[in-house]
A and B are shown apart, each in its own frame.
Chain A
Amino acid sequence: MTEPTPRRVDPDVDLRVPADRGELRAHPAVVLGVIAAGGVLGALARAGVQAAFPHPPTGFGWATFGVNVSGCLLIGALMAVVTTGRVPPLTRPFLGVGVLGGYTTFSTYVVDVRQAAAAGAAGTALAYLAATLLGAVAAVWVGDAAGRLLGRATGAREGETATGRPGADGARADGGPS
């Protein structure tokens, strides 16, 4: 499969994607505003989960683990829908950069690993470090697969109503079931 623009690597902002490149200059206050608003919602959700499931210094940080892995599942699904389906313009800045970026955290992850190791629980520290890393990448993969199905379904439906029949006629002219 070839695509005219390079495939996105960074879900927050990939400057090789034309829409990302121009969005800040076009609407700086709106873009930064929705990112801030989303970040607040995500951070409060994370704080709520962490307050509900506290862990001792030597323990496994299940709350942050759950937050980071579920956030990765959601970014995988979100970006698949954003790139394959049709979504409102501020969907990525608000939900991806803001909500999910604010919800997940890298700093608490490494600080908890350091704390567990320093408290003498090296095994827990290593297990938490590896489980989050592997769980996160696996979760993005699962989310991406689910999101592609969803995006393809919505994209195909909208495509039919938007472009009408000519494309489909051309495609079916060579031997498709009539």
Chain B
Amino acid sequence: MTVLLIALGAAVGAPLRYLTDRAVQSRHASPFPWGTLTVNVVGSLVLGALVAAPVGPAVSALLGTGFCGALTTYSTFGYETLRLARDGSRLLALVNALTSVAAGLGAATLGYAATRALVG
């Protein structure tokens, strides 16, 4: 059952990452990977909120391991960071790495705090 829930969450999360990336990247011309940053920050916010919520293992498998896990990505983020550095934009690579980590951590913390405030 857990396997099915993880699979279901990932089957939605992975294509949603691709579609979000396309939508965000089509709105600007710079090589900066705003699309990947967007999915990673949104997924971190949702997972941060989820781990503070009184939910069972089924919901965690579906939304946490499956959906948030597949919506967010480290491989794409790592590749983009190296690519930016290689293409002569070391500053942009550093900004991407630091912004992603800081915004992701901030979003996870915000999500966690919001859930705690709501459920008490």
Binding site for B on A (CB under 8 A): 6-16, 24, 31-32, 35-40, 42-44, 46-47, 50, 68, 71-72, 74-76, 79, 93, 96-98, 100-111, 113-115, 129, 132-133, 136-137, 139-141, 144
Report chain B residues within 8 Å CB of A39: 10-11, 13-15, 70
Which of A12, A74, A102, A110 is within 8 Å of B21, CB to CB? A12
* Total residue contacts A-B, CB cutoff 8 A: 213
Residues of chain A within 8 A of B68, CB atoms compared: 105, 107-108
| CB-based nearest A residue for B104 | A110
- B76 close to A11 (CB less than 8 A): yes
Q: Are A106 and B70 in contact (CB under 8 A)?
A: no
A43 touches B78 (CB 8 A): no
B78 touches A137 (CB 8 A): yes
Please state if A43 and B66 are interface contacts (CB–CB under 8 Å).
Answer: yes
Complex Cα distance, B14 from A104, in Å, reads 11
| Seed contacts A75-B78, A96-B75, A100-B75; 12 additional CB < 8 Å A-B pairs | A9-B87, A11-B76, A43-B7, A43-B10, A44-B10, A47-B6, A96-B76, A100-B73, A107-B68, A110-B44, A114-B105, A136-B81
Assuming A42-B70, A43-B10, A101-B70, is B40 touching A106 (CB within 8 A)? yes
Choose among B18, B47, B61, B78 the residue that contacts A12 (Cβ–Cβ < 8 A): B18
| Contact in complex: B11, A36 (CB < 8 Å) | yes
Give the complex CA separation of A24 and B18 in angstroms: 10
Task: Knowing A10-B25, A105-B69, A110-B104 are in contact, say whether A140-B84 is a contact too (CB < 8 A).
Answer: no
Given contacts A39-B10, A43-B6, A98-B14, contact A10 B21 (CB under 8 A): yes
In the assembly, what is the distance between CA of A6 and CA of B87, in Å?
A: 10
Contact B79 A106 (CB under 8 A): no
Report the minimal beta-carbon distance from A90 to chain B, rounded to whole angstroms. 13
Given contacts A9-B87, A15-B26, contact A102 B14 (CB under 8 A): yes
B44: chain A residues at CB < 8 Å are 106-107, 110-111
Given the interface pairs A101-B14, A139-B78, the reply to whether A106 lies near B83 with Cβ below 8 Å is: no
Q: Is the CB of A107 within 8 A of B69?
A: yes
Q: Is B115 an interface residue (CB 8 A)?
A: no
* A94 nearest CB across to chain B (Å): 10
Contacts of A75 in B (CB 8 A): 75-76, 78-79
Q: List 22 A-B contacts (CB under 8 A).
A: A13-B25, A15-B22, A32-B19, A35-B15, A36-B15, A40-B10, A40-B11, A43-B14, A47-B3, A50-B65, A68-B74, A68-B75, A75-B76, A101-B18, A101-B73, A102-B10, A104-B74, A106-B104, A114-B109, A133-B97, A137-B78, A140-B79
